Amino acid sequence: MLRLTASIMRRELALTWRRRTGALGCLLFFVIAASLFPLAVGSDPELLRAIAPGVLWVTALFAAMLSLGRLFAPDFADGALDQMLLAPHSLLTMVTAKIAAHWLTSGFALVLLAPLLAIQYGLAFDTILRLTVALLLGTPALSLIGSMGAALTLGVRGGGMLLAVLVLPLETPVLIFGANAADPVRSGAWSAANFSLLGAALLASLALCPFATTTALRISAE
């Protein structure tokens, strides 16, 4: 199982590198969208610090959604998905490995960029640290939840709009917990409670989403 997981992840990372324009486009969207808000709302330091966690989380959410199209669609288009379904190996393991590789090339990259973007909002170091940890916990949940929508909308005309309708309501709790965990005004017990809820959302996503995604892929391939 470990050998299969490593092989799938290497393949996905290699394909992402060959098609790096899409991955770089999502990261560029995150950088540009997060950088436009200080220009739009003005230079008031208190206002910028207050809106920073919400802005960075919302832009990270939309950037993660933009990257969902390359999770299963290329395999569906070139027939690799049919080979995965017919392979004697565990489809659940292969799907989990694909989601992990997707997070490494999208969600983890957003986590690395977030502290740099947070500096322009004038956030204190402890707030930037909490924001980074919150994104580190929340972005895997976004990838896991998004994988279900990506699998359900394979081959559907206008799938991008349908994907947003399916995924956004499910990802909203992660957005709320993540933004509140990094709230620069309230910390302590409030922040700890939201980190606990964020961790619970990640564990629930890990337990449920790969199974649901596997089932959705079988339905989409029929």
- What percent of the chain shows pLDDT beyond 90? 39
pLDDT band at 158 (very low <50, low <70, confident <90, very high): low
Contacts of 124 (CB under 8 A, 6+ apart): 184
Q: Which residue has the higher pLDDT, 186 or 26?
A: 26
Q: What is the pTM (predicted TM-score) of this model?
A: 0.88
Give the separation between CA 151 and CA 153, rounded to whole angstroms: 6
For residue 34, the 8-state DSSP code is H
- pLDDT for the residue 142: 93
Question: Is residue 30 within 8 Å of 113, Cβ to Cβ?
Answer: yes
> Which of 48, 196, 192 shows the shortest CA–CA distance to 122?
48
Give the separation between CA 134 and CA 184, rounded to whole angstroms: 13
Give the separation between CA 199 and CA 193, rounded to whole angstroms: 10
- Find where tokens 């017990």 sit: 189
Check pLDDT > 80 for residue 211: yes
Query: Which tokens is 164 given?
Result: 């947003």
Give the separation between CA 172 and CA 178, rounded to whole angstroms: 10
pLDDT band at 1 (very low <50, low <70, confident <90, very high): low
Instruction: Write out pLDDT tens, residues 79-105.
Output: 777 777 787 778 888 888 889 988 988
Residue 156: which H helix or E strand, with range?
Answer: none
What integer is the mean pLDDT of 146-173?
Answer: 84
Instruction: Write out pLDDT tens, residues 100-156.
Output: 988 988 889 899 999 999 998 988 899 999 999 999 999 999 999 999 988 888 877
Q: Which residue has the higher pLDDT, 16 or 101?
A: 101
- pLDDT for the residue 191: 86
Instruction: Write out pLDDT tens, residues 186-200.
Output: 777 888 899 999 999
Mean pLDDT of all residues in the chain?
Answer: 86
For residue 202, the 8-state DSSP code is H
Question: Is residue 76 within 8 Å of 210, Cβ to Cβ?
Answer: no
What integer is the mean pLDDT of 37-60?
Answer: 89
What integer is the mean pLDDT of 50-60?
Answer: 92
